[in-house]
Amino acid sequence: MRQRDVRTWTILVSYFARVGSDGVVLELFKDMQNKGVVPNQFTLSSVLKCCSSLSELRIGKGVHGWILRNGITLDVVLENSLLDFYVKCKDLGSAKCLFELMEERNSVTWNILIGTHLNTGDVDKAVDMFRKLRIKDVTSWNIIIDGAMRNRFKRIALELLYEMVKHGTFLNEVTFSIALVLAASLLDLELGKQIHAAVFRMGIHVDDFIRNSLIDMYCKCGRMELSLKVLKKMDMDFGRKENSIVEIISWSSIISGFIRNGQFEDAFKTFTSMVRKEIEVDRSIITSIISGCANCGVLELGQQVHALFHKTGHKVDAHLGSSLIDMYAKCGNLDDAQMIFKQTSDRNVVLWTSMISGCAIHGQGREVVQQFESIISEGIKPNEVTFIGVLTACSHAGLIEEGCRYFRLMKEVYGFKPEVEHFTCMVDLYGRVGLLDEAKKFIHENGIHQMSAVWRSLLSSCRLHKDIEMAEWVCEKLLHLEPLDAGPYILLSNICTTKQRWEEAAEVRSLMQSRGVKKNPGQSWIEIKNQVHAFVVGDRSHPRKDEIYAYLDKLIKRLREIGYLSDTKNVMQDVEEEQGEMVLAFHSEKLAAAYGIISTSSQKRIRIMKNLRICNDCHNFMKYTSQLLGREIIVRDIRRFHHFKHGYCSCGEFW
């Protein structure tokens, strides 16, 4: 009788454990105890698993105590369950005690330990332990490959994968799923296609995980058409998995893919059609949409989505919080970004990094340094992106010493190899304050002269500090490294012209022409009542062009009265257009500003976006306008924000 009771309970428990109803399992366990039914090892393992996925350290410990008190035999399976439970609930002390007392250990035991090292980021230890395993089963390989990849040891992960194939271990669907994620993160389309062919041959392309990994791999490799093809073909062959987690995840991948590829319209369209078709929109999709809004600067849509999400009563998690912070910061509302940051309770590295990068592009250097110190004191490990934010902040605020210190910290303490972005920040750090020779020295010392980005950064600094000699020299470098970039040609020919070296100027121009180099036309846009209005220099296509030009004319006259002078003589002018006061007066950002002023109430901030850097004259224009009209103007150019208020700019003349 009693025996049958236990069997019935066990079947119930294992069923609910399998479908993931952890709460029900714990309830059943309580019932068993109340009724005096003694659970067997099967039940106990399931219960422990539920405790770890619910992070119920207390309940699990209770189970452990109960096992010891009731003299239940601790076989290796049950001990492994306990071990895994302690590890997952981050009670490493108890895990260690238990491990040392274990008489029998099998491959599962070692796999749990390897997984633990990988979760705490200790890849070396994990690999070391993996190498020493006498018996490596598929799961051991899967764990180490996946863990190495998650810790961004991508090359090692790939090497291990090849080694696994050579070793002759049978690859299962989990291996392929991991391999597809790896191919995606390496942006290795060829590898991805090979895996696609292999899973197809094995007939495991119907596996939900594989299906989504395939879709996501094509998205990440920028091949949206292939991704959509996989999705449609699967729906056709196996029927749509309506509103299942599988379907939501695949659409989530597609939307984020569109956004990554800059196809914002497609992303927004897919989003609205999902809403219309009542396909569930989960938080990952919302997160992607918000980050799309951040990247194309449509604040109003983003705010609407944010409000909608807020109304449904969901809490903002670290993922969504980061993208909201990013959006508000990139759209110029640093205050809102900071508010989101304060309201988000689980702060991880990415959330911190979003906040740091947000402050950095707004020029809040000191603030960033403080934040960075508090990250470290909170025990959060910064990543490579965090350092980009910190270094950007230092360079924008002229904090040379701090910048150098953090660059060293990154290399020496955290062991991150600097990438182009970090080097560019460093060159900027020196160049921005006028230490042009130091910047040059830095480039040579670090052996990064083949990176065009660092030279472009140096060129900007030459322009800022009006060092014509060095600018000329840097232009020559860039002409070789980046023959299709129009900027250096134009600047170089301007320099030659000023020095009356007409022939050279003509040579540069014709070289540019023969190489088919096209200028990137300067463009500014402003969002008014959910509508984006774009302007190019001297634009006459806007329906209210007459009003705009008339107002701009009037405004410039009034600005002159309070001291604004058009800066027409500057050879080092940004490259948007030809020189000349008339053209300068109609730069796209001025047109956008004029339109913003005449079409909104006098309280509202003006937010303008521009695809190039703002030029010196426009920068002055904005300062005087903010003073004259008492209005805040925010210009987001390709590099950073300029926050104009009472005649001053937040960039402190560094840009």
Partner DNA sequence: CTAGGGTTAG
* Residue closer to DNA (CB basis): 174 or 388: 174
- Look at phi and psi of residue 328 and say left if phi exceeds 0, alpha if psi is from -120 to 50, else beta: alpha
Query: Residue 137 or 476: which CB sits closer to DNA?
Result: 137
Q: Which is nearer to DNA, 263 or 566 (CB)?
A: 263
Nearer to DNA, 281 or 462 (CB): 281
Shortest gap between Cβ of 425 and DNA (angstroms)?
19
For the bound state, the minimum distance from the C-beta of residue 612 to DNA, rounded and expressed in Å, comes to: 24
Q: Among residues 353 and 457, whose Cβ is nearest to DNA?
A: 353
- For 150-205, give the secondary structure using H, E and C: HCCCHHHHHHHHHHHHHHCCCCCHHHHHHHHHHHHHCCCHHHHHHHHHHHHHHCHH
CB nearer DNA, residue 282 or residue 485:
282
Q: Across-strand partners of 536?
A: 523
Six token digits for residue 134:
């006498």
Tell me the pairing of strands 641-645 and 606-610. Answer: unpaired
Check: CB of residue 427 under 8 Å from CB of residue 452: no
In which element (H, E) is residue 636 found? strand 633-636
Residues 6+ apart with CB under 8 A from 322: 350, 351, 353, 354
Task: Give least dist CB 474 to DNA, A.
Answer: 33
Please name the residue ranges forming H helices in 433-542: 436-445, 452-464, 468-481, 486-498, 502-514
Q: Which CB, 14 or 263, lies closer to DNA?
A: 14
Q: Give residues with Cβ within 8 angstroms of 109, minimum separation 6.
A: 76, 79, 80, 83, 99, 102
Cβ 362 vs Cβ 325: under 8 Å: no
Smallest distance, Å, CB 410 to DNA? 20
* Secondary structure of residue 532 in the 3-state scheme: strand
Helix (H, G, I), strand (E, B) or coil at 648: strand
Beta carbon nearer to DNA, 297 or 522: 297
Query: Which tokens go with 338?
Result: 């900071």
Shortest CB 64 distance to DNA, Å: 14
Inter-helix orientation angle 588-599/545-561, to 10°: 100
Quote the least distance from Cβ 17 to DNA, whole Å.
7
Residue type for 573, please? Answer: Q
Tokens of 611: 């695809």
Nearer to DNA, 287 or 395 (CB): 287
For DNA, the closer of residues 80 and 460 by Cβ is 80
Nearest distance from residue 593's CB to DNA, in Å? 29
Closest approach of Cβ 608 to DNA, in Å?
23
Query: Smallest distance from the beta carbon of 285 to DNA, in angstroms?
Result: 7
Rounded to an integer, what is the distance from CA 17 to the centroid of its chain?
35
Which is closer to DNA, CB of 101 or CB of 514? 101
Cβ distance 125 to 117 under 8 Å?
yes
Structure tokens, 68:
């010891």
Question: Nearest distance from residue 123's CB to DNA, in Å?
Answer: 15
Q: Rounded to the nearest whole angstrom, what is the least distance from the CB of residue 237 to DNA in the complex?
A: 17
- By DSSP bridging, strand 641-645 and strand 633-636 are antiparallel
One-letter amino acid for residue 485 of the chain: D
User: 228-240 burial, b if ≥16 CB within 10 A, otherwise e?
Assistant: bebbeebeeeeee
